[in-house]
Amino acid sequence: MNWSRARNNFHHGAPQLGVLVFGGAMSLLAFFSRMGESSWSTSLHESQYAYSIIESLHVWTLAVFFGSIIMVDLRLLGLTMRKVPVTEVAGRLLPWTVGAFVMMVITGSLLFSAIPLRSFQNIFFRTKMLLLIAAGVNVWLFHSGIYKKVWEWDLHAIPPKRARIAGGISLVLWACIIVSGRMIAYNWFDCDRQPQSDLINFLTSCNPTDEGH
Amino acid sequence: MSLLPFFQWCYATGIGEYIRNSAWLFPVIEAVHLLGFGLTLGAVLIVELRLLGAGLSRQPVSQLAANAQPWLLGGIALMFVSGIPLFLSESIKAYYSFAFWTKMTSLFLVLLYTFTLRRRITGTDISTERPVLVRSLALMSLCLWFGVAWGGRWIGFS
Residue B118 has pLDDT above 80, yes or no: yes
Taking the C-alpha atoms of residue B157 and residue B69, their distance in angstroms, rounded to an integer, is 33
Helix (H, G, I), strand (E, B) or coil at B57: coil
The reply to whether B45 touches chain A by the CB within 8 Å rule is: yes
Q: For chain B, give the mean pLDDT.
A: 92
Is this complex's ipTM strictly greater than 0.90?
A: yes
Burial class (CB in 10 A: 0-12, 13-18, 19+), A133: exposed
A96/B43 Cβ within 8 A: no
Write the residue in B31, B38, B63 that is nearest to A66 by C-beta. B38
Interface of chain A against chain B, CB under 8 Å?
Answer: 52, 55-56, 59-60, 62-64, 66-71, 74, 80-84, 88-89, 92-93, 96, 175, 178-179, 182-183, 185-186, 188
* pTM for the full predicted model: 0.87
- Higher-confidence residue of A7 and A91: namely A91
**Nearest Cα residue in chain A from B31:** A179
User: What was the pLDDT predicted at A6?
Assistant: 45
Which sequence spans correspond to the domains of chain B? 4-155
Write the residue in B41, B70, B153 that is nearest to A56 by C-beta. B153
User: What was the pLDDT predicted at B23?
Assistant: 86
Instruction: Tell me which residues of chain B, numbers 83 to 142, contact chain A at a CB-CB cutoff of 8 Å.
Output: none
* Cis amide bond preceding B60, omega within 30: no
The secondary structure of chain A as a DSSP string is --HHHHHHTS-TT-HHHHHHHHTT---HHHHHHHHHTSHHHHHHHH-SSHHHHHHHHHHHHHHHHHHHHHHHHHHHTTSS-TTS-HHHHHHHHHHHHHHHHHHHHHHHHHHHHHSHHHHHT-HHHHHHHHHHHHHHHHHHHHHHTGGGGHHHHTT-SS--HHHHHHHHHHHHHHHHHHHHHHHGGG-TT-TTS----HHHHHHTT--TT-TT-
Q: Which residues of A touch B57 (CB under 8 A)?
A: 92
**Range with the lowest mean pLDDT among A30-39, A136-145, B81-90?**
A30-39
A141-176 pLDDT tens trace: 999 999 999 999 999 999 999 999 999 999 999 999
Residue A14 has pLDDT above 70, yes or no: no
